[in-house]
Amino acid sequence: MIKNYFKIALRNLSKHKGDTAINLVGLIVAFSTSLLLFLGVYYEFSFDKFHKNGDDIYHLYFTTHTKNQVEKSGSMPVPLLPSLKAAYPEVKYGTRYVNGAGIVDYNNKKINENVRYSDPDFLEMFSFPLVKGNAKNALGELNNVVVRETAAKAIFGKEEPMNKVVQLHINDEWKPFVVSGIIADMPDNSSINFDMLIRFENNGNYAGAIDQWDNTNHDVYIQLAEGSNRAQFEKKAISFLNLHFKENIEKLKRDGAAPAPDGSFIHLNLQPLSKIHTDNSINREGGSISSGYLYMLLIIGLLIVAIACINFINLSIGRSFTRSKEIGLRKTLGAQRWQLTAQFWTEAFFICLAAFIVSLVLCYLLLPQYKQLFAMHIDRKVLLSPNSWFVMLGIFLLITLLAGGYPAWLMSRFNIVQILKGKVSVGQSNKLRNSLIVVQFSIAILLMVATMISWQQINYLRERPLGYNRSQVISVPVEGEMNPTKVLEIMKASLQNNSNVESISGIYNNLGRGTDGASRTSSIGFDYKNREVKSSWMGITYDFTKTLGLQMVAGRDFSKDFLTDSSGVIINEQMAQQLGEKEVIGALLNVDDSAPPMKVLGVVKDFNFQSLHQPIKPLTLILSKDFPIHYILIKVKSTNLPASMELVKNAYKNVLPNTDFKGSFLDENIERQYKREQKLGRIFVAGAIIAITLSCMGLLAIVILVVTQRTKEIGVRKVLGASVSSIIGMLSYDFLKLVFISAVIAFPLAWYAMKSWLTGFAYHIEISWWIFLLTGAATVLIALLTVSIQALKAAIANPVKSLRSE
């Protein structure tokens, strides 16, 4: 019997080639698109889940309740972890972790490597297996270094690396380290990455910050003992914070901070290791991606599959009325309902299976292009993993059951007497068909609106003035054994007489995101006239405002003519407003009790030194060794930018010949800040195109079926004098009405969804009414063309043939 089902199914599918092709193409496109999106999301959610003790490992962060907001920060003070371990036996392991860059010198071969500072517990906590060495004592000595396997091959070649002595250039000096372990390369889906691991005590800021609870500069991870409860630990830590942050809490109370419901002002929270990659609410070393963004990709994939399934259901139900005689004959010969259901479901299963197999092959072949186009980091091995197969098989069976099972069940319920009399009612089915058309066009319109708004916002981010010159300024990360200030001096001497170079300066942290991918932030709070003020701090050198084209609104710029400027600062308008002085020039800021107060020399006009996701915050510019420069900024003439970049590159390579040049224009850096939005925009575009194409394919197939069912009616109308245009209008009206209803449903949903998305930007566009008008008009036009082509063919057909066929 099963064999017979398969034979009849193949025969019917080949008989109705048009419907089969539409269903097959629609499902292949939907399955392929959705599989690629699902695999990308699956990969992002798989981060850090390979650690054996991952369920007990947490990243620490502070939640501080201020007067106007709740602030989260993952930056910790140096003495916190040792004190936490001493106070709470629940903390089984703990490690501080901070980024660093160093040059490795072995046998006069120098290589740049990513160095991370951590504590010995690091290797006990995380599942980064040691190929050589012992996890318990690999970081037992201050001069021990653990090297990643790939880095070890690059440094030592075929030599045995264990116990070899290498020189590391850290903190502006060379230090010897002994290789005490070789660690296996970490997986791609690891949030923690490094080339070399050394003790945290080697960090240059360690000695000065060992007892400073108000100096935060690194991440902390802890592993709780088995049986320990995260929520209970967070509650117990309140007393710990009240003891060590008593002064901070008193200042919060003094400034009118609103406490949490439990009465506390500062919380120490535990962020699960498996969540840190998909939670971007906390600043953390390494960055993250929003889980909301990933869920949006999942929704887009599901919506595309839904459209394809709707097409499948509509075509199956529509075709059932052309197969009513077949169904009636089968029932007359004794076929049971379950047998008819099985027969029609078998046909659906064949189409879904064929589409699924082709989609898997396409996904495998298209993965490299997909990764490049949408910047989704996913490997083909993820597609072949057992978990992926299990999920894909489950989705396939669910879609087959829903898309094929319902039409099969509906067709098996037809009344045999009504079928044989030719009186099968289609009214109820038409309601379902129309409802499904409304759903799929609502989805298509929603994606089209989202596409237009997202691209408007991306263009707004690209074009909005940031308050500084970004098109002619080259940012060069300084990486090498030479002090960046010295590199700046040499390059300045080399380039300042060149006619293409207008000015040169240095900066502590980059503007935008450079090709080195690094990001630094520094924020300091201090008392000013018995209240706390907070500001971002940025180390710079002379000619900074000139290089960026910043505008001074009060006071003066830093000048070499005044030796005391090293203890002065320049602030932005937001910082001046926070100080609240009528005359801010000359104000003295007591930032550090152990140092003389800093004098405000000038006020610079506000500029966006961070991404447009955030509003402009108070900023303090300083000439200070506490904020050393890491980047050189070079303003060049706009006449020949490629030649200017080559000029800067040659000057840099003359100073640091063994270091890679990673210079880029600031406008390129700004673009990189919005990669996530650009990627989302591209996915919206692709999703909208696929959605509207599939919807129109389904609409075309339904129109063909409707015209076939109304052949006699069209013929009668033509005999009675109906014009071609009236017939086209009659056939088009019903479907255009459905498109209009779809727009009415989709527009509010799209407005709400995109309004919520735009709130993630401090600066964003306002959603314009014409976007909805344009989207609605485009959808109506596309649907009208789809319907009219088939309606025209029916309207100009010979009515004699249509009446004779009946």
Mean pLDDT of the chain: 82
Percent of the chain predicted with pLDDT > 70: 85
Structure tokens, 396: 């396939």
pLDDT at 426 over 50: no
Q: Is 640 helix (H, G, I), strand (E, B) or coil?
A: coil
More confident residue, 747 or 729: 747
| Rounded distance between C-alpha atoms, residue 776 and residue 524, angstroms | 51
| Rounded distance between C-alpha atoms, residue 592 and residue 527, angstroms | 10
If one counts every other C-beta atom within 10 angstroms of the C-beta of residue 207, the result is: 9
What is the average per-residue pLDDT within 184-190? 87
More confident residue, 166 or 411: 166
First and final C-alpha spacing in the chain:
35
Query: What one-letter code names the amino acid at 500?
Result: N
What is the average per-residue pLDDT within 503-515? 87
| Rounded distance between C-alpha atoms, residue 692 and residue 441, angstroms | 7
Structure tokens, 504: 């040169």
The pLDDT confidence band at residue 184, using thresholds 50, 70 and 90, is very high
The pLDDT confidence band at residue 699, using thresholds 50, 70 and 90, is confident
| Rounded distance between C-alpha atoms, residue 176 and residue 169, angstroms | 9
Name the strand (E) or helix (H) holding 131: strand 130-132
598-604/568-572 β-pairing: parallel
- Give residue 340's pLDDT: 61
The pLDDT confidence band at residue 97, using thresholds 50, 70 and 90, is very high
What is the average per-residue pLDDT within 561-583? 89
Contacts of 721 (CB under 8 A, 6+ apart): none
Contacts of 406 (CB under 8 A, 6+ apart): 313
Nearest to 495 by CA among 471, 474, 480: 474
Angle at CA 524, nearest 5°, toward 520 and 526? 175
Least confident of 378-382, 448-452, 481-485: 378-382
Least confident of 214-228, 246-260, 339-353, 758-772: 339-353
- pTM for the whole thing? 0.79
What is the average per-residue pLDDT within 409-429? 54
The pLDDT confidence band at residue 232, using thresholds 50, 70 and 90, is very high
What is the average per-residue pLDDT within 73-90? 91
Are 407 and 348 within 8 A, CB to CB?
A: yes
Least confident of 144-158, 344-358, 487-501, 659-673: 344-358
Percent of the chain predicted with pLDDT > 90: 24
pLDDT at 165 over 90: yes
The model's pLDDT over 359-390, given as tens digits with 9 standing for 90+, comes to 888 888 888 887 777 666 677 777 777 777 77
Strand partners, 220: 96
Angle at CA 711, nearest 5°, toward 705 and 716? 155
The pLDDT confidence band at residue 14, using thresholds 50, 70 and 90, is low
- Give residue 615's pLDDT: 86
- Give residue 285's pLDDT: 53
Nearest to 82 by CA among 191, 205, 245, 213: 213
- Give residue 511's pLDDT: 86
Q: Is 232 helix (H, G, I), strand (E, B) or coil?
A: helix
Within its chain, how far is the Cα of 741 from the centroid? 33
pLDDT at 762 over 60: yes
- Give residue 624's pLDDT: 72
pLDDT at 321 over 60: no
What is the average per-residue pLDDT within 518-522? 72
532-539/552-555 β-pairing: unpaired
